[in-house]
Amino acid sequence: MSKSNPTKLWLALALLLAVTACGTTPPASHYRLSAQESLPASAAGPALGVGPVSIPQYLDRDGMVRSDGANRLQIASSERWAEPLDQGITRVLSLNLAGLLQTQNIQPFPWHPERHPDFGVKVRVLALDADATRATLVAEWLLYRIDDDQALARRMADYTQPLSGAEAKAGEIAAAYSKLLYQLSQDIASALAPPAAAD
């Protein structure tokens, strides 16, 4: 029985190490959405419930999704959301609305039936995309009074935010999405607390 050739053994080990190195996944980076408002000092504003917030199935994943501007999507493997996207949107809307409405009485859906807020807002995200030039949010929202389920305002709107170019970083996209959600928050807040009429 012949002995193994040491040269072949070393070549096989080197090849195995090379294949292993090529297959190594780069470490993931995690991103979050951020609110544009800070919490108010008092709780004088209205009691508002936020949610449910629904998102399209193509966005319901850890990896950040980018668009080619048409129908093709790219799902990042190493650029990920730090929390489920619908929960991040709910969190940011809650913080923004607390600041815009000057209230600390914000409750996420579902709320306790015996301690429910005065008003609720449901949000359906229809699109949240980033392509080579811009980030886009399309959302439908319903503001209603919880006691009698009466609708106070219902809107469908789209918002855009420019990006620096085709190589926009994931952090820039997360920041752009945060600004879009602030624009949505401003519209909701305006419907609940419209500006006073001029004298």
* pLDDT, average across residues 181-192: 96
Lowest mean pLDDT among 16-30, 65-79, 97-111: 16-30
Residue 114: what pLDDT?
A: 84
- Whether the pLDDT of residue 197 is over 50: the answer is no
pLDDT range class, residue 194, cuts 50, 70, 90:
low
Average pLDDT, the chain: 87
pLDDT range class, residue 16, cuts 50, 70, 90:
low
| CA–CA distance, 161 with 145 (Å, rounded to integer) | 31
Cis peptide before 113 (omega within 30 of 0): no
Domain over 51-192 is classified CATH 3.40.50.10610: yes
Q: Locate the domains of the chain by residue range.
A: 51-192
- Whether the pLDDT of residue 159 is over 70: the answer is yes
Convert 158-171 to b/e letters by CB count within 10 Å (16 or more is b). Answer: ebebebeeeebebe
Residue 22: what pLDDT?
A: 53
Instruction: Take residue 105 and report the two structure tokens written for it.
Output: 């009485």
Question: pTM for this structure?
Answer: 0.83
Indicate the SS3 state at residue 80: strand
- Whether the CB-CB separation of 78 and 27 falls below 8 Å is answered with yes
Closest Cα partner for 47 from 112, 135, 126, 2?
Answer: 112
Residue 162: what pLDDT?
A: 94
Residue 113: what pLDDT?
A: 80
Instruction: Take residue 154 and report the two structure tokens written for it.
Output: 């219902």
Q: Which pLDDT tens digit goes with each residue over 103-148?
A: 999 999 998 888 899 999 999 999 999 988 899 999 999 999 999 9
Residue 26: what pLDDT?
A: 67
* pLDDT, average across residues 156-163: 95
Helices and strands (H, E) in the chain, number of each type: 3, 8
**Which residue in the block uniquely carries the two structure tokens 């951020």?**
34
Q: How many residues appear in the chain?
A: 199
Q: Provide the edge-to-edge strand list for the sheet that holds 29-31.
A: 29-31, 73-81, 63-67
